[in-house]
Amino acid sequence: MSMILRGVRVLELAGLAPGPHCGMILADFGAHVIRVDRPSNGGTKWIGGGGVKWLARGKRSLILDLKRPEGVTVMRKLCRQVDVVLEPYRQGVLSKLGRSNETPYAPLNLLADFGGGSLTCALGIVLALYERTQSGKGQVIDANMVEGTAYLSSFLWKSQNAGLWSQPRGKNLLDSGAPFYETYRTSDGKFMAVGAIEPQFYALLINGLGLNCAELPHQWSISDWEEMKKKFADTFAKKTQAEWCKIFGGTDACVTPILSLEEATLNEHNLERGTFITDEDHKVSPRPAPLLSRTPAVPSTKRDPLEGEHTIEILQEFGFSQEEINQLNLAKVIEIRKPKSNL
């Protein structure tokens, strides 16, 4: 089945989090992504070491020393033959080449690195590719996590005058201030998430908790929120997560369990939707989103590539002769690695 980015060639300069994730998104939707990795003596190995990088699904790897003039020459030749160059450096670098024991909270780098960074960058690339079909010209996409995250928080900025953020931090409607928009510990040490803002959903929440609305303060009585949070917490602590799931399952009370990674893969909804996929190394990861009806993403289920595994193959595709490749290898401008066989 044809994918929407089929035929698009992407050169991704290895980096952390946002860059690799953006490249993986493009690869998932059909782009041919080549990752340019640093030599073994020039890369930071603080995370995902051992020669295999995370977020490398569907990519190939070339090791190239961009601190050497010969490496820059190779890089420029590659750039002239691709549609997208994805680089994670600070502005101007490329031009020189040419809470513990508390209730759960969202991992913050999902917002900056992946939401404001890689997803915004991927959107910019797709927009530029589409515009190119009209103008025939390329352009630079300047995507950074600060501005991307600011854009994602447009609702916060636009709603400042609505009174949603008039209380101190942690005391507002959507930042855990409201008793009906919070997480609660269950009797077995697990957690339930509550997001029952609308009155009809709130009524179902109160009913499921076995409480009586007539005996409680009004939902929007902010001065009573702390007292209500304690009452809700005491109530949730009386049953296990499974028991609460049985009570609220199939209702519109906006009460859901907070699951571990393993539990999420076994969740009934996720199983039915096929939300997670497994590669040949038996590693589980989320399926690409969104789903396209005619040209859906078909993510690779092969193992993630070893750094430098495709160095020779890629350079040959871009017109380098075997003699040139041998010279670059002898000069240690490139590195060639092959996966060890499992006997």
The set of catalytic residues is 113
**CA-CA distance, 112 to 152, in Å (whole number)?**
9
* Rounded-to-10 torsion of CA 117, 120, 123, 124: -90
Closest to 70 (Cα-Cα) out of 300, 328, 251, 339? 328
Element (H, E) at 120: helix 120-135
In eight-state DSSP terms, residue 175 is I
- DSSP conformational letter for 336: -
User: Can you tell me the distance from the alpha carbon of 301 to that of 279, in angstroms, rounded to the nearest whole number?
Assistant: 4
Paired strand residues for 182? 194
- Site of tokens 């992946």: 114
Phi, psi of 185 (to 5 degrees): -80, 140
Q: Strand, coil or helix: what is 233?
A: helix
Q: In whole angstroms, what is the distance from residue 213 CA to residue 335 CA?
A: 69
Residues forming beta bridges with residue 33, ordered by sequence position: 10, 59
* Strand order across the 181-185 sheet: 181-185, 191-195, 255-258
DSSP state of 286: E
